[in-house]
Amino acid sequence: MIKTLFIAALLLPACAGASGAKAAPKQVAALPAQQPQQVINLSLMEALVAVERADMVGVFTFVPEENSALAMADMLMREHKSMKLFFRKLGKDKKVAGGISEWDKQVLLYMVGLDANAASLGVEPLSGKLQKQVYEFSLMPAYPLQVIVEKRRSQG
């Protein structure tokens, strides 16, 4: 008797599948995918502090590092006050180091592209004065951030 019940328990699921009756699918709770903790590069951190938007650090942790310059350029194109503060930072670096950081130059080059396609991207085109500043800064020599920081320290 026990043997019969045991065999019936083993064969029941197989028989149910063969007879066309479908077993209810198991509900598996979908867990949100854990994203690796992003590390914000120092150039981005320095830029956010310079434009007085350190509160955006949390948002930028969701932006992959290779896209951080584009994300910063997009933010600056939408916030002209922040853009002017960014230009002030670049002016100081130009004076101290004779150039700007490589990451800052990437931001500027993305801004040139965003300005050229402003209408299709929903961004306000830059005024002549701002556009001139973006173009002038984007033509400056670019140095690694470490070089810029060392020159700042040696200047005072």
pLDDT at 19 over 60: no
pTM attached to this predicted model: 0.74
Separation CA 140–CA 135 (nearest Å): 9
> For residues 34 and 23, what is the distance between their CA atoms, to the nearest angstrom?
31
Q: Assess whether pLDDT exceeds 90 at residue 32.
A: no
In order, the DSSP letters of 70-116 are HHHHHHHHH-HHHHHHHHHHHHHHHHHHSSEEHHHHHHHHHHHHHHH
Residue with more model confidence, 81 or 11: 81
Confidence at residue 120, expressed as pLDDT on a 0 to 100 scale: 83
Q: How far apart are CA 43 and CA 123, in angstroms?
A: 24
Q: Where are the domains of the chain?
A: 36-155
